[in-house]
Every structure is written in C-alpha cells, then in structure tokens.
Chains A and B, each alone.
Chain A
C-alpha cells in the first residue's frame, strides 16, 4: 500500500500501468448523526484546551468545584443540627471566633461556620434553578423571535424590551411580596425577571446563524422548522447560551442574597442572604460583630467571582464578536 504523499497529483495525470491499491478503509462514520457528533466532540475538546490556557478561568473553575464539593458534602462538614436554634451544640450567642466555633456564633449561639457551609446549598441551588428557568424562557423566546422574524419577532422583542426597562429589584420585590415566601417562589421570581437579556443575545446570534449557507441549504432541501432549529441553529447558538448561563448564575446568586436580605427569602431555610439579614437586624453592624457578617458575604463574593471568571473565559472563546479582536 502506498502512503498518501506518494499518490500522484492530477497535474501529472493518472499514472499509466500502475493501479491504485485500496488501502484499509478509513474510519467512516456510518451516518450523518455520527459525523456531527464526532465533529462536535472535537470542537468541545478544542474549547477545553483553549480554556485551560486561561489562568483566571481555571482559578474560577477550581473555586467553583470547591464550593460544589462543600455543598454536596455539607452534612459531613457540619452537623445539620447546628442549624436549629435549640440545638444543644450551640454556644454562647454573639461570641467571637474561638476554638470550638471558628467563625463565632450568631444570636442563637449557632456556629457561623455551620451556617455558612449549609448556606452554600441553598444559594447554589437557587442560583442554578433560577438560571435554568431564565435560560429556558430566554433562549426559547430568543430562538423563536430570531427564527421567525416578521411580526412575531417585533412583538416578542418589544415585550422583551419592556421587561428590560423595568428595574429589576423593585419588580422582584413586588412579585416576591405578593406571593408567600418560599424557596420555590424566590427561584421563580429571579427566573422570570432575568430572561430578557438572554433573549436578546440569543436572538442576535440566531439571526447570524440563520443566514449561514448550510441553514439555507438545509431549508432548500425541505427541512422543517423543528429540524432546522434543533439540528442547525441550536448547536450553534448553544455555546453562547452556555457562556451566558454561567454569567447569569452569578447574577442570580447575588439577587437571591439581596432578596433574602430584604426579608423576602424563605424564613425556614438558611442561605447566606438570610444569615446576613439575621445579623443585620440583630444589630451586628453596630456591635462590631464582624465574624457574623464577613464570612457569608465573602462566600458570596467568591462564588460570584468564580462564576464571573469562568463566564468571561468562556465568553472570550465562544463569542464570535470578541474572537475577532
């Protein structure tokens, strides 16, 4: 079998008297779906390799993994009983950090460390679920608007713009106070107030993809709207949505902490926001009880920072506009 480089080029014409021996059949994917997946896997691999070079992005990722582990293994790190005000494990209220209570205690004598560790679960959960709702609504509207164009697009975009104009916190406050406070309510409220910016970005990207040759060709071959959207548009808009998702989670976590701080959180759950709310209304600021105030806040800062760094790193890789710079 001849190696490929030795094969004659057309300029010299096909060789006379020698037959091209068939080599072993190359790894031919069996159907178009396989081709697409092989290609997609390769491009995800490329994305990961580029991401790895981004130091800040890697730091963000590391911090995120750390927090995720803390959230998952919370029961192993701190006893859940410590969240109850009447737990015998509690110490003297308002006491500064000591050996038994490395981050001091709150007004019930609960260990602030326990509160912060368990708060990770709530804050991350709310952040992720609220973002999921927001991304789902936003992407759906963005894709439909971008794909359909015409009247539907203008109506949907007008609607999106209206929502964008309404200031976020007053809207969230009004919604949350009308409904009874619970985790689910908070998640829904944040979710339905953050979709507009996603919708805009998604629509812009859909418009770019829609006019690409392979989409037009697919349509000419008779592809249905469903096929075009799921097979062509979504995979190309997907990465951008993903980068945007990460950034949205950061904002969702900030929003949750703010709403909880204002008293709209679930009084039965312990999040960083409710801990801070408790601290503030117990006068911790005036009393200088920094051990109660600083840790939950720092936790928020680090998680949000981590998500933001990851989001920026991904955005740089996936956002076509930024790549040109």
Chain B
C-alpha cells in the first residue's frame, strides 16, 4: 500500500537525519581549534601538561580519528555518554534521566495549551478577519513575537513571584516543588502545579501567537475556496460551514507546522527553566554551559535533536493519515 511505503521512507529519512546529527555531534567536540583536553581543563586548578596528557588518553583523544568515531558510535548506541564533569561521579545518562520528567511535563502541557489556544484564536481571527478582534490579536502576537522569552519570563517572575507594585506575589519563586515539604498524592500534585504555573504561563503566551497566525492565514485561504460557496449554496449554516468545512481543511497545513515548531519550544524551555530555576533539562543545559561540561552538553544536544526529529516523523505520519489526498499515495 502507498501508505506503508510512505511511512517507511519517512522513518528512513528520520534515521538518516539522526545519523547526521550523531556525526555532527562527534566532530563538534573533536575538530575544534585547540586541544580538546586543554579546553576541558582550562580554568581549573588541574590545568597542567601532565593532566592534559592524562585526560587526553582517558578520553581516547590520542587515538586516530576513525577509531575514535567507532568508539563514539558504539558508546552512543549503548547510551554511554561518559561522566559528567559538573556532577562528578555520575554518568551523563543518569544525570539526564533524573531531570527529564520536569521538562517533559512543562513542554507537553505548554505545547498543548499554546496550540489549543493559538488555534482557537487563529480560527476566530481568520473567520472574522479585519475585525477588531483580529487586528488586536495580530498586534498582540507581533508584540510577543518581538519579545525574548527570557525577558518575558523575568518580568513575570518579578511581578507574580517577587511581587512588585500592583502585582501580588502569588507564586513560588522557582523550583519544582517546595523543598522539605513532605506531600503526597493530591497535595504533591498541587504543589508541583503551583511551581509549574509561571514557567508554563510564559511558554504558552510566547508560542500561542505563532500558532494563531499560521491558523489564521490558513483559514483565510480556505475560506475563499469554491467548495465553501457550494456549502453555502446548499443552505448550510455559517457556523457549520466554519467547523465542518473550513476548519478541517485549514487544520492540515497548520498541524504540520505546529509539530515542526517543537524545536523552538525546547529552546524556549531552556531559557524559561533557567529563569524560574525549574530543575529540568533546560536548567541542566545552562549549568552545563557554566561548567563547560562537554559530555553533558553532547548528550543533551543529541537528546534535543532526537526529540525534534522524532516529533517531525510523528507529524509526517499523522498528517499522511489525516489528509486523504496523501493517504492514497
């Protein structure tokens, strides 16, 4: 069937891209100007020629490049990224695994909310394009788009956690849960949600606008198609025309774009987690930057890239199932 071949080719492409990322990741830390080992030790007390040589040998950097790559590939497949510098004694795999859940929670909930809100606003904006709502929504989107997410995050932090002027201090100043509090079940969930609220809010507002704009434009295009006229001539009510004819057709291209923009949400998560001290992969990344923890950075980079590649793959496959024109092959 056409679909199976389509899915297979998409999976293959995804694997190829993943392979490319792996190779890229490898060369990133080996083929940089200067000595990698020296780079690692620079700025630490242990920076002397003997240590550099020892580290070089430890990391296998004195072996020929192709051999290094084989070791690297092997390591990657077994998810062995070496030890983290920053958290001595723990390997990268564990470090990442420990922090993955908060980020998953944050990114998943904020993507869902911003997509849902953005799409609804986009639908209404497009259906009533030119109206005050539309103009207002577009203006708002433009403004938010020009704002760095971290700055918006700081403002929100300042207003609602620190409390300033008329803004009340409603939310905790960061973290995942109240430290020391021994809560379980609903109490714990509520505590987590309380801490999640502000970073979630920042991400939702930051990305909602983009989705609404895409949906709006898609909707306007579809609105002017001939089959909408046919439906109207048949006597279908305007509301039904919108939801049964226009939106399903407008949703298709929007849907792909929504999933494709997942990469940007990860970027946003990094800065937002940092601002709110939210202990996920984003904060971990910033900590890794600070301590020049290259194994950790490598692992994180691979993880982020893999997540986006998989998201794209899922988007492609889902789209092929939703659009009957693609399904037929």
Show the binding face of A for B, using Cβ within 8 Å.
161-162, 165-171, 173-175, 177-179, 250, 254, 257-258, 261-264, 276, 279-280, 284-288, 290, 293-294, 297, 300-302, 304-305, 308-309
Chain B interface main SS type: helix
CB pair A264 B158 closer than 8 Å? no
25 residue pairs from A and B, CB less than 8 Å apart: A165-B263, A166-B305, A166-B308, A167-B305, A168-B263, A170-B300, A170-B304, A173-B289, A174-B28, A254-B146, A262-B274, A263-B289, A276-B151, A276-B154, A285-B158, A285-B162, A286-B158, A288-B162, A288-B164, A290-B158, A297-B151, A301-B151, A304-B147, A305-B142, A308-B145
**B contact residues around A288 at 8 Å (CB):** 158, 162-164
Shortest CB-to-CB span from B272 to chain A, Å, is 11
The B11-69 residues at the A interface (CB cut-off 8 A) are 17, 20-21, 24, 28-29, 32-33, 39
Assembly CA distance A31 to B213 (angstroms): 48
Assembly CA distance A132 to B300 (angstroms): 30
The verdict on B155 contacting chain A, using a C-beta distance below 8 Å, is: yes
Q: Given A250-B146, A305-B142 in contact, is the A169-B270 Cβ separation under 8 Å?
A: yes
Assembly CA distance A170 to B289 (angstroms): 11
Nearest residue, chain B, Cβ from A264: B289
The verdict on B266 contacting chain A, using a C-beta distance below 8 Å, is: yes
**B contact residues around A165 at 8 Å (CB):** 17, 263, 305, 308-309, 312
CB pair B148 A300 closer than 8 Å? yes
Nearest residue, chain A, Cβ from B266: A167
Of the candidates A170, A171, A263, A297, which one forms a contact with B155 in the assembled complex, judged by CB atoms under 8 Å apart? A297
**A contact residues around B286 at 8 Å (CB):** 262-263
CB pair A167 B267 closer than 8 Å? yes
Shortest CB-to-CB span from B170 to chain A, Å, is 14
Assembly CA distance A245 to B63 (angstroms): 44
The verdict on B257 contacting chain A, using a C-beta distance below 8 Å, is: no
**A contact residues around B308 at 8 Å (CB):** 165-167
The verdict on B124 contacting chain A, using a C-beta distance below 8 Å, is: no
Assembly CA distance A170 to B163 (angstroms): 32
The verdict on B285 contacting chain A, using a C-beta distance below 8 Å, is: yes
Shortest CB-to-CB span from A121 to chain B, Å, is 18
| Contacts beyond the supplied A167-B308, A288-B163, A305-B143: 19 A-B pairs with Cβ under 8 Å | A166-B305, A166-B308, A168-B267, A170-B270, A173-B289, A177-B292, A178-B294, A179-B32, A262-B289, A263-B289, A264-B289, A280-B154, A280-B275, A286-B162, A288-B158, A293-B151, A293-B154, A300-B151, A308-B146
**A contact residues around B275 at 8 Å (CB):** 280, 285
**A contact residues around B142 at 8 Å (CB):** 305, 308-309
CB pair B148 A254 closer than 8 Å? yes
The verdict on B264 contacting chain A, using a C-beta distance below 8 Å, is: yes
**A contact residues around B143 at 8 Å (CB):** 301, 305
Shortest CB-to-CB span from B294 to chain A, Å, is 8
CB pair B289 A177 closer than 8 Å? yes
The verdict on B290 contacting chain A, using a C-beta distance below 8 Å, is: yes
Q: Given A173-B285, A173-B289, A177-B289 in contact, is the A304-B21 Cβ separation under 8 Å?
A: no
Contact-size category for B: 35 or more
Shortest CB-to-CB span from B227 to chain A, Å, is 19
Of the candidates B20, B150, B290, B309, which one forms a contact with A258 in the assembled complex, judged by CB atoms under 8 Å apart? B150
The 4 closest A-B pairs by CB, nearest first: A169-B267, A167-B263, A297-B151, A304-B146
Per-residue CB contact flags for chain B residues 134-163 toward chain A (1 = under 8 Å, else 0) read 000000001101111111001101100111
CB pair A177 B297 closer than 8 Å? yes
**A contact residues around B161 at 8 Å (CB):** 285-286
Nearest residue, chain A, Cβ from B33: A179
Assembly CA distance A144 to B154 (angstroms): 44
**B contact residues around A287 at 8 Å (CB):** 162
Nearest residue, chain B, Cβ from A293: B154
Nearest residue, chain A, Cβ from B285: A173
Q: Given A262-B286, A297-B148, A301-B146 in contact, is the A171-B301 Cβ separation under 8 Å?
A: yes
CB pair B266 A169 closer than 8 Å? yes
The verdict on B110 contacting chain A, using a C-beta distance below 8 Å, is: no
Shortest CB-to-CB span from B240 to chain A, Å, is 26
Shortest CB-to-CB span from B95 to chain A, Å, is 16
**A contact residues around B114 at 8 Å (CB):** none
